[in-house]
Amino acid sequence: MASQHFKKKAETKQTIPTASLPDIIFMLLIFFMVSTVLRETTVQVRTLLPRAEALTKIDQKRLLTYVYIGPRKLPDGRLGETRVQIDDALIDDLTLIRTIMYNKLLEQPKLIVSLRIDQDAKMKLVYDVQQELREAQTLRINYSARPEAPAS
């Protein structure tokens, strides 16, 4: 009787069931398609950025919102008056910047405003935009620039 308790059981090969593997992959694919945010803005102003020596790249692009300042691109290819653009909207009244940016700051408390300013833009307009950003409490500001051309 004692010998029955200590007999080796037949070896069985354990396998991982793969029948539901396509379902899992499909669910992951749908998850990433739904959760990925693709933002694309149609820039309606020219922004020929100034050159700079020391640049720092921001890795967290989702924290960024861009404010474009530069001459408006007209349909015939010419350039118009200097305008301010946030997302896809041209801003006529600069006080709207305060409201737009305050709402964005409520959505994303770590918001970084990246100013993409054309090198020929008037500093009066840039100063007015900076004041509106200050009133909206969006104090994390980045100034975009191009790397300086290498010396030959």
In a domain, 70, yes or no: yes
Strands (E) located in 1-152:
51-52, 64-73, 79-86, 89-91, 112-117, 141-143, 146-147
Residue matched to tokens 């118009």:
80
C-alpha–C-alpha distance, residues 109 and 111, integer Å: 6
Which H helix or E strand runs over 44? none
What's the whole-model pTM score?
0.70
Q: Which amino acid is at 89?
A: A
Domain assignment of residue 70, given as a range: 62-146
CA distance 63 to 19: 41
Asked whether residue 47 is assigned to any structural domain, the reply reads: no
Looking at the domain assignment, is residue 18 inside a domain? no
**Cα three-residue angle 147-133-112, rounded to 5 degrees:** 50
| Contact (CB, 8 A) for 77 and 59 | no
Task: Output the domain CATH number for residue 126.
Answer: 3.30.420
d(C-alpha 51, C-alpha 151), whole Å: 13
Does a structural domain hold residue 15?
no
pLDDT of residue 151: 64
Q: Tokens representing 76?
A: 């015939």
| Domain tally, the chain | 1
Tell me the per-residue pLDDT of 85-137, one tens digit each, with 9 for 90 and over.
998 889 999 999 999 999 999 999 999 999 999 988 999 999 999 999 999 99
pLDDT at 36: 81
CB 71 within 8 A of CB 80: yes
**Would residue 92 count as lying in a domain?**
yes
